[in-house]
Structure 1
Amino acid sequence: MQQRSVLITGCSSGIGFDAAHGLKSRGWRVFASCRQETDCVRFRAEGFESPRIDYTRPETIAAGLSEVLDATGGTLDALFNNGAHAIPGALEDLPIEGLRALFEANVFGWHDLTRRAMPVMRAQGHGRIVNHSSVLGLVVMPWRGAYNATKHALEGLTDTLRLEMRDTPIHVITLNTGPVTSKIRVNSIPHFEKWVDWENSPRAPQYREKLLKRLYESRGKDMFELPPSAVTAKLVHALESRRPRPRYYVTTATHLMGAARRVLTTRAMDALCAKGG
């Protein structure tokens, strides 16, 4: 049988890194894409095929997918949209340019890559598209407004695509991940410093008391935090199960918040989610 192929984005660290290694160990032909060429070089040194894909640069999306299809003879069994980042801060301090930039990276680039992959999957008669959402695609928490918004947008796109593809052999799947060990906090710092003028914010005291400490100081593991391998385990089921679920929850926090939003009033959910600030 031909080796199954999967394109994974955001593989430089954390969840993407673990998924790339985990699927390769299971016999998948893994195309581990990264935003930075230096990270691609590192993967190639490990024996991976690693096209550069930066969701904010459409030319890299087109070139990266073309590189994959050239290598496979025009096929792709699965796509795992995973690469994303955050811009912490209060929404009243976030300029529209910052929000637009985050949507380019976390939503529009994903849509672009997905649309380019779908004709390939239609032509070959099968395919799986897995979008990595978050518990923050189900509920919201303060200081994470931009990230909340992109994940809620992703939920709408993925749910709609899943419905529209019901008459095709392409499965569309969502992973909702809660606290998982990664570099998302550290990686968000440059974006925070670029876009958020917190010192001139009416919330400057709150930034000093809460967000800056959480952002710049390592506090150890969060409650319910799991290693990236927990996500890989659900990804394996999504890709290899004969009848994959439309949605997978990862971590206890995601299960709890998913249940809470079904039974609590809006006022009660607001009180619960506000504690995350």
Structure 2
Amino acid sequence: MKESILITGCSSGIGRYCAEQLHKAGYNVVASCRRHEDVEALRQQGLNCVQLDLDDTTSIHQGLQECLAITRGRLDVLFNNAAYGQPGALEDLPTDALRQQFETNLFGWHELTQAVIPIMLQQGSGKIVQNSSVLGLVAMKYRGAYNASKFALEGYTDTLRLELDDTPVHISLIEPGPIESHFRANAKSKFEQHIDLNASRHQTSYRKTLERLGKSSPSSKFTLPPEAVLKPLLNILDSQRPKPRYYVTQPTYIFGFLRRLLPTRKLDMLLSKST
């Protein structure tokens, strides 16, 4: 049996695909999902799966303990992946919606990571992989909550890497651009939950946003299947000293380069045209 790995956010998209493929490859995978029905669906496929809701402290620790029972107390890799995007202009965003975004996309990750670190230190090895985003490198309009959570994750992870530099625990970021998933459908639901379109000066742009989020076809010609994220994840698993960062999709490479090259106002001009 290969290394044990806990993957969060496996109900669909990147998490589910990576869990399925790593399981087929012989890794001791423990997938996790927030909803009971998704847990049962993966179990019926033959995967180990636990219920873990990143918005719930009790669920986080209970899910981790169930994972460790499956892996006999060892955890070689944690792949923090579960996240969603809250659309809407920051001026229209209720503070509670921003809190919810950070609860799922950062605070829950911290609580799980904090619980895993002592296990990895005690066993003398481990890897923590954070699934970030191109929007952790550059910002785009109407994605402020998600931008903020991913920018925070980037700083959090850089700090964690420095603090664990003298240990056998390795920290890596994967930074994808557009990937095929249910991300847009979930974002549309969150928009409708928290944003009053008719009361906003951004009505015209919001209607375009809702049209984009409602499409089933890829949102960009650069959109890649979740296999694109599996590739760097496998590189991390196979490496004795994984890299701090792995770019995925052409937009990440482009904007990562332009962020270093262009003055802020020039970069703003480009980003303001992005949708």
TM (norm. structure 2) is 0.97
**Whole-angstrom CA distance in 2 between matches of 1:59 and 1:220:** 36
Residues 1-277 of structure 1 aligned to structure 2 (within 5 Å): 3-208=2-207, 210-277=208-275
**Whole-angstrom CA distance in 1 between matches of 2:147 and 2:263:** 20
SS of the residue 1:6 aligns to: strand
**Whole-angstrom CA distance in 1 between matches of 2:233 and 2:218:** 26
Taking only the aligned residue pairs, the percentage that are identical comes to: 49
- Give 1:258 deviation, angstroms: 0.4
Equivalent position amino acid for 1:38 in 2: E
Alignment RMSD (CA, Å): 1.1
- Write out per-residue CA displacement over residues 218-268 of structure 1, whole angstroms, 9 at most, x where no aligned residue: 454512111100100110101221221111000111011100001000001
**Whole-angstrom CA distance in 1 between matches of 2:212 and 2:185:** 10
Unaligned runs of 5+ in 2: none
- Write out per-residue CA displacement over residues 52-97 of structure 1, whole angstroms, 9 at most, x where no aligned residue: 1111011110000000112222110000000000111111100100
**Whole-angstrom CA distance in 1 between matches of 2:217 and 2:16:** 23
TM (norm. structure 1) is 0.97
Question: Which moves more between the two structures, 125-134 or 48-57?
Answer: 48-57
SS of the residue 1:267 aligns to: helix
- Runs of 4+ deviating beyond 6 Å: none
- Write out per-residue CA displacement over residues 127-172 of structure 1, whole angstroms, 9 at most, x where no aligned residue: 0000000000000110111000000000010000001100000000
Contact 2:212 2:219 in 1 (8 A): no
Contact 2:180 2:225 in 1 (8 A): yes
SS of the residue 1:56 aligns to: coil
**Whole-angstrom CA distance in 1 between matches of 2:7 and 2:241:** 21
Q: 1:218 to 1:21 in 2, by over 3 A?
A: closer
